[in-house]
Amino acid sequence: MELSLVWFILIAVLWTGYLVLEGFDFGVGMLMPFVAKNDQGRRVALNTIGPVWDGNEVWLLTAGGATFAAFPEWYATLFSGFYLPLLVILLALIVRSVAIEYRGKIDDASWRRRWDLAIIVSAWIPSILWGVAFGNLVRGVPIDAASQYTGNFFTLLNPFSLLGGIVTLTLFLSHGAIFLALKTSGEIRERSENLAKRFSMAAIVVAAVWAVWAQLAYSVAWTWAAVAVAAVALIATWWGAVKERFGYAFIFNAVAVVAAVVLIFGSLYPDVMPSTTNDAYSLTVHNASSSDYTLKVMTWVAVLLTPVVLAYQAWTYWVFRRRLSVDSIPEHSEPTFAKG
Amino acid sequence: MDALELARWQFGITTVYHFIFVPLTIGLSILVAIMQTAWYRTGKDAWLRLTKFYGKLLVINFALGVATGIVQEFQFGMNWSEYSRYVGDIFGAPLAMEALAAFFLESTFLGLWIFGWDRLSKRVHLTTVWLFAIGTNLSAYFIIAANSWMQHPTGAEYNPATGRAEMTNIGEVLFNPTTLWAFPHVMATAFLVTGTVIAGIAGAWLVKKNQESGGTAKEKKARDTDRSMYRTGLRLGALVMLISGLAVIVTGDQQAKMMFEQQPMKMAAAEALCDTETGAQFSLLTIGDLTNSCDGVNHILTIPKLTSYLATGNWDSTVTGVNDLQAAYTEKYGEADYAPNLAVTYWSFRLMIGLGVFSAMLALATFWLTRKGAGPSGKWFRRLALIAIPTPYLAASFGWIFTEMGRQPWVVAPNPTGSDQVYLMTQHGYSVGVSAGEVLTSMIIFTLIYALLAVFWYRLMARYAKLGARPVDPPKKNDGDDGPLSFAY
């Protein structure tokens, strides 16, 4: 297999890792106000992702870095072209990581309330915008002969891509609710289970519409297989939620995300960024990639390191496997700003 | 301002801001690991208290380092797309390696360390903090390697077919001679910052404890324990300052010698040395308008021959000045202004050195003052300890401003002994497809959000520093599913 194809697949794998893992982080953030009615409950929800969310986010940084190293043209056109949406995503990620870390550092109700709001909003925004970005990638954007994006902010807000935003949103809500159902007990678990049943149903509907649209308008025949797998996996997720087998539901939802990434990358190939201006201007796996030498070096690095990363991240989930309830949350012992 | 200038300002603002948080994270990750190791080995309560105390500051600081680091990963594509196209084949590799080898390690193991006090055995938990520290320091290495490549491109050739620079040797990219001096210099700086923070806070607390008197026998005993703990912290911090202060000077000197060969224009500008001189003087003070040209330069206080000595180790060597370098560059690369902003380069160089050396001197003073007994109890020492903290931070910022501004007008400076076609001027690196309005928008938003976050960061750091190293219960392992977590957000 050509190395540029290997890297195209590897970048798809990195995005899969990101969407599966940060997908439930975002879901938990978005659902925090709906599953928890007080500070203690919100802390239960937040602490289910406490030890892992930061490591999950690194999948995005790695996808970004790998795109830079393996497909510099793609990296350059994509990030300069999707400038404003990417800016909004970055701002949300910045605020979110500070908010999660700082919300519990001062024992003050209004301090926590404000950071909670930041955590919630900064989970909703990227959950929608990632879908919009992927929608535009599949659909193609105006790119000129010099590989420059020639559209503007509103070019990116088309119905197909906005629906893509609803798809990632719904998938992440479902994913987060299932994760919370697996990781909590008591009232929060019950609410999460109910939400998981509803969102997993909604996910089937919106994902089906988007996938068929993508398939008919922008894709190739073989990716129907990915659509079929996604459909089966999403129905199985819903079934798992209804039968309260949330371990299965979680796995099936992850499979659905994998199938969605296969659909997206499968429809792109051999392009990495199709141009709607002229087919000849599209960035492809071949004309956007790094030299063979660089790809070879990076392949060795990826082959050696990725299994190690997967092993220690999996171990982390094992270490923090216990379910959390309001009883697992310690009393506030932080300082306030008022004293001393 | 046009998109190019705005993109430069944005890079400068976001990067200098990012580097406020980086050095403390680099140094403190190792020092907290050392403190925890000391506790693991000796079982002494004071080490556990110091671990938890400085560990808390580390986590508060780390959050902002991560948050502002995200932008760095994407900014090259957003604002510097043409740069990214030209160098991605080489420059992308250390960034991707950083994410894969270092970011995963530091983020995952920091989570394990923060939340794992009661879930892991003492030994495994100690391992997590070390792996976090290794990840953090490894990440610094890859970034310095990437930056060094912009200062002095190695292991690359220009490919006319693709119109870009391409990697020919990964070993030369990762073990660039520039990296091998820049990395220890940055590490030494990080430890100078960290030592100062540790010593500054512990010193202020020591004075406070030394001033207290009276109370019951029990209170006195607790106070003696605290005193001994803060004295340990102060001396540890001062030791780190002293060693790293010396290392900063030695590595800085070596780096400068190398830079006289690799980027002679940067060093000539740093000295505001306009004309080539044999036995070149070192300028301490200059007045006049340095900004645009050599015409305004007016040295009023100089040390004879020192620049020649710093450049080559020989008092009588010849150092090429800005004007001759300008002529040589023009001949080789065509008509353009090849001198960096003289005022910025000249002054940032001096501020970096002055503030850095001042920090190292404070360490010496601290050792003298704490050589025996309880240590200082005067208010002046408390004040000095706190004032000392920002000093190495400023030195580090000026160091970066110097080396990045001094590289101008290049974004990839030509390597005088390497491939003579691998170079890029800054004005050819920015995103031509992004409007000035878009860059301005993002710059304003980033600056505002960063300013707001800095307020929260400072308030939390100050609040936790004021709280002091409180007594803590030794961690107990809890394998069950019941009972409260040892730590929760």
Which residues, listed in sequence order, are joined to residue B302 by a DSSP beta bridge?
A: B283
Average pLDDT of the segment spanning B25-41: 97
Q: Measure the CA angle with vertex B196, ends B242 and B222; round to 5°.
A: 105
Question: Do residue A54 and residue B466 have CB atoms under 8 angstroms apart?
Answer: no
Residues from chain A that touch B467, judged by Cβ atoms under 8 A, are 335, 340
Q: Where are the domains of chain B?
A: 3-254+340-467
Q: Chain B: residue nearest A62 by CA?
A: B99
Task: Give the pLDDT score at B292.
Answer: 59
Task: Give the pLDDT score at A10.
Answer: 96
DSSP string of B379-444, one letter each residue: HHHHHHHHHHTHHHHHHHHHHHHHHHHTTTTEEE---TTS-TT--EEGGGTS-TTS-HHHHHHHHH
Q: Which of A90, A291, A302 sits opposite B166 (nearest CB)?
A: A291
**Distance in angstroms (rounded) separating the CA atoms of residues B166 and B376:** 58
Beta carbon pairs, A and B, within 8 Å:
252
Other C-beta atoms closer than 10 Å to the C-beta of B386 total: 15
Tell me: pLDDT of A33 over 50. yes
* pTM of this structure: 0.95
Question: Do residue A98 and residue B453 have CB atoms under 8 angstroms apart?
Answer: yes
Task: Give the pLDDT score at A7.
Answer: 97
Question: Do residue B107 and residue A54 have CB atoms under 8 angstroms apart?
Answer: yes
Task: Give the pLDDT score at B379.
Answer: 84
Q: pLDDT tens for residues B247-273?
A: 999 999 999 999 999 999 999 999 888
Residue B385 binned pLDDT confidence (cut-offs 50, 70, 90) = confident
Question: Do residue B96 and residue A301 have CB atoms under 8 angstroms apart?
Answer: yes
Q: Which of B88, B101, B489 sits opposite A72 (nearest CB)?
A: B88
Tell me: pLDDT of B372 over 90. no
Residues from chain B that touch A148, judged by Cβ atoms under 8 A, are 432-433
What are the φ and ψ backbone dihedral angles of B410, each rounded to 5 degrees?
-90, 145
The answer as to whether A6 is a domain residue is: no
Place of tokens 């509907």: A205
Q: Helical H runs in chain A?
A: 3-35, 39-49, 53-70, 72-81, 83-102, 109-139, 159-183, 187-218, 224-242, 246-268, 292-319
Tell me: pLDDT of B133 over 70. yes
Question: Do residue B489 and residue A309 have CB atoms under 8 angstroms apart?
Answer: no
Residues from chain A that touch B482, judged by Cβ atoms under 8 A, are 327-328
Residues from chain B that touch A284, judged by Cβ atoms under 8 A, are none
Tell me: pLDDT of B370 over 90. no
**Distance in angstroms (rounded) separating the CA atoms of residues A120 and B400:** 36
**Residues near B193 by beta carbon (within 8 Å), at least 6 away in sequence:** B23, B24, B27, B392, B393, B396
Q: Which domain holds residue A48?
A: 15-212+267-328
Task: Give the pLDDT score at B289.
Answer: 64
Percent of chain B with pLDDT over 90: 76
ipTM exceeding 0.90, yes/no: yes
Question: Do residue A90 and residue B70 have CB atoms under 8 angstroms apart?
Answer: yes
Question: Do residue B107 and residue A55 have CB atoms under 8 angstroms apart?
Answer: yes
Which residue, A199, A307, A306, A298, is CA-closest to A250? Answer: A199
Which residue, A83, A131, A78, A82, is CA-closest to A283? Answer: A78
What are the φ and ψ backbone dihedral angles of A337, each rounded to 5 degrees?
-80, -20
Tell me: pLDDT of B410 over 60. yes
How many distinct structural domains can be found in chain A? 1
Residue A339 binned pLDDT confidence (cut-offs 50, 70, 90) = low
**Distance in angstroms (rounded) separating the CA atoms of residues A17 and A313:** 11
Mean confidence (pLDDT) of chain A = 96
The whole-angstrom distance between A70's CA and the closest CA on chain B is 7
Q: pLDDT tens for residues A40-67?
A: 999 999 999 999 999 999 999 999 999 9
Tell me: pLDDT of B476 over 70. yes
Residues from chain B that touch A72, judged by Cβ atoms under 8 A, are 84-85, 87-89, 92, 164
The whole-angstrom distance between A163's CA and the closest CA on chain B is 25
* Residue of A107, A147, A291, A328 best to disrupt the B interface, most CBs of B under 10 A: A291
**Distance in angstroms (rounded) separating the CA atoms of residues B61 and A76:** 31
Q: pLDDT tens for residues B331-343?
A: 999 999 999 998 8
* Residue of B61, B75, B81 best to disrupt the A interface, most CBs of A under 10 A: B81
Q: pLDDT tens for residues A220-279?
A: 999 999 999 999 999 999 999 999 999 999 999 999 999 999 999 999 999 999 999 999
The answer as to whether A241 is a domain residue is: no
Place of tokens 């199938």: A259
Task: Give the pLDDT score at B237.
Answer: 94
Tell me: pLDDT of A169 over 50. yes
Q: pLDDT tens for residues B84-109?
A: 999 999 999 999 999 999 999 999 99
Residue B383 binned pLDDT confidence (cut-offs 50, 70, 90) = confident
Q: Which of A106, A331, A340 sits opposite B466 (nearest CB)?
A: A340
DSSP string of B298-353, one letter each residue: EEEEEETTHHHHHHHS-TT-EE--HHHHHHHHHHHH-SS-----HHHHHHHHHHHH
Q: Chain A: residue nearest B121 by CA?
A: A319
Q: pLDDT tens for residues A88-114?
A: 999 999 999 999 999 999 999 999 999
> What six digits make up the tokens of A82?
């999707």
Residues from chain A that touch B93, judged by Cβ atoms under 8 A, are 69, 294, 297-298
Tell me: pLDDT of B288 over 70. no
Average pLDDT of the segment spanning B378-407: 92
Residues in chain B: 489
The whole-angstrom distance between A236's CA and the closest CA on chain B is 30
Q: pLDDT tens for residues B210-232?
A: 988 888 999 999 999 999 999 99
Q: Chain B: residue nearest A340 by CA?
A: B466
The answer as to whether A250 is a domain residue is: no
Residues from chain B that touch A182, judged by Cβ atoms under 8 A, are none
Residues from chain B that touch A298, judged by Cβ atoms under 8 A, are 93, 96
Q: Chain B: residue nearest A321 by CA?
A: B481
> What six digits make up the tokens of A116?
């909670």
Tell me: pLDDT of B481 over 70. yes
Q: pLDDT tens for residues B424-470?
A: 999 999 999 999 999 999 999 999 999 999 999 999 999 999 999 99
Task: Give the pLDDT score at A340.
Answer: 46
Q: Chain A: residue nearest B448 by CA?
A: A91
Q: pLDDT tens for residues B106-129?
A: 999 999 999 999 999 999 999 999
Peptide bond into B264 cis (omega under 30): no
Question: Do residue B489 and residue A103 have CB atoms under 8 angstroms apart?
Answer: yes
**Distance in angstroms (rounded) separating the CA atoms of residues B331 and B339:** 14
Question: Do residue B453 and residue A62 have CB atoms under 8 angstroms apart?
Answer: no
Task: Give the pLDDT score at B484.
Answer: 86
Question: Do residue B467 and residue A335 have CB atoms under 8 angstroms apart?
Answer: yes
